Structure 1
Amino acid sequence: SGLVPPGTPLTHAGPSWPLAFRELRGSVRQLVSGWLHGEARPTYDPALALAHVNSVARAAPPVPRAVRARDGALVRELDAEPECAALLAVVARDAVELLTDPVARAALRQCAGDNCPIVYVDMSRGRRRRWCSSEVCGNRERVARHRRRAALART
């Protein structure tokens, strides 16, 4: 996902790491959903979700450094093995940037695919993107549309 440079060992990652990332994802999802759908009476506590994201963002992110590779080129590596809190902070800080930037926040979209929960930032020209993936959700929609037209033509 780009949180750490390629080849960074994460052998010290514990079983609590995935849970912590899922909890953060849930808080971010709640805040994004509240923004997208303007929930007047949300089924969650928006203040609690916001407090969780802000709390996680406080930790210091992993410290990168430049080192020479075998071929002499400079490559990025981390100063020390990244801790869970540091990696979570990177994700939380990205969420804070997204949710506080009016331009980025205005580009948030919910995928128009049937039952697709994915939210994305629409960076397309004209801001008319409809699906999280044209190859997956977009293709499903086009196939369904074709089948509806074919069924109408048969009747």
Structure 2
Amino acid sequence: MTDVMADPRDPRPLIGEPLALDLLNTRWAGTPVNDLLGEAGGYGIWLSSAGLSERCTADGAGLAATLRAREVLGAAAQFLFEHGELGEAVRAGLDEVLAHGRIRRTAGPGGAEDRIEVDRPEWLAAWLAVDDFLTLVAQGAHRVRQCAHEACILHFFDASQNGRRRWCRMAVCGNRAKAARHYVKARG
């Protein structure tokens, strides 16, 4: 979870996951699937909720780069869920986004300082999200999860002590699953 205050205009049901998963969560269940980045102004709302609005411009070029990162992250997360590791093709997609930037280490007054540099400003949010995903995978690939409710498409990082979190939100998806089990048991 981040310590950034979510934009009050943000309609998403799950906000505040690490940046990479927060970007994936700009799409959520509905008919059709809800897409914050598919509506006018949604990219600016996401940047605000993610704490990036002062570093990134909410323009068409930035949106296009961020949509590419979301596509790559979605494929990487899906491959990770299915195989427990990142395959060659998804690593190539991640590297494609990462090729637009780098971390530059400099000597600061207190020691080493890292500064993110991107080849074009529109790639900053996308680069940060992909870099964050790799950090999460390094912390524990098995903790990068998709909600266990069959109708939910949200993602989360399981920071629970025992690593057994199953739901994006227990109060919603967890309760739906409990109610469905109860209904089946009562009918049976």
Q: TM-score range by the shorter chain?
A: 0.5 to 0.7
1:131 is aligned, of 143, 157, 167, to: 167
Gaps of 5+ in 2: 1-48, 104-119
Q: Which secondary structure state, in structure 2, belongs to the residue aligned with residue 120 of structure 1? A: strand
The residue identity in structure 1 corresponding to 2:66 is: F
TM-score normalised per structure 1: 0.63
* Residue of structure 2 aligned with 1:94, choices 128, 132, 141: 132
Larger Cα-atom Rg: 1
Q: Which amino acid is the alignment partner of residue 124 of structure 1?
A: S
Residue 31 of structure 1: which of 51, 76, 90 is its match? 76
Q: Kindly tell me: are residues 60 and 13 of structure 1, through their superposed partners in 2, closer, same or farther at Cα, counting changes over 3 Å?
A: farther
Runs of 4+ residues deviating >3 angstroms: 46-49
- Using a 3 Å threshold, how does the CA distance of structure 1 residues 9 and 121 change in structure 2: closer, same or farther? closer
- Count of matched residue positions in the alignment of Structure 1 and Structure 2: 121
Where does residue 121 of structure 2 map in the other structure? Answer: 83
Distance 1:126 1:96 in 2: 22
Query: Any conservation in 1 of the 2:79–2:90 contact (CA below 8 Å)?
Result: no
Return the letter of the residue paired with 2:176: R
Q: Which amino acid aligns with 1:87?
A: A
CA 1:131–1:90 in 2, change beyond 3 Å: closer, same or farther?
A: same
* Greater RCO (CA < 8 Å, at least 6 residues apart): 2
Normalised by the length of structure 2, the TM-score is 0.53
User: What secondary structure sits across from 2:162 in the alignment?
Assistant: helix
**Is structure 2 residue 42 aligned with structure 1 residue 4?**
no
Give the Cα separation in 2 of the matches to 1:129 and 1:151: 28
Checking the alignment, whether the CA contact within 8 Å between 1:98 and 1:104 is kept in structure 2 is: yes
Over aligned residues, Cα RMSD in angstroms?
A: 2.8
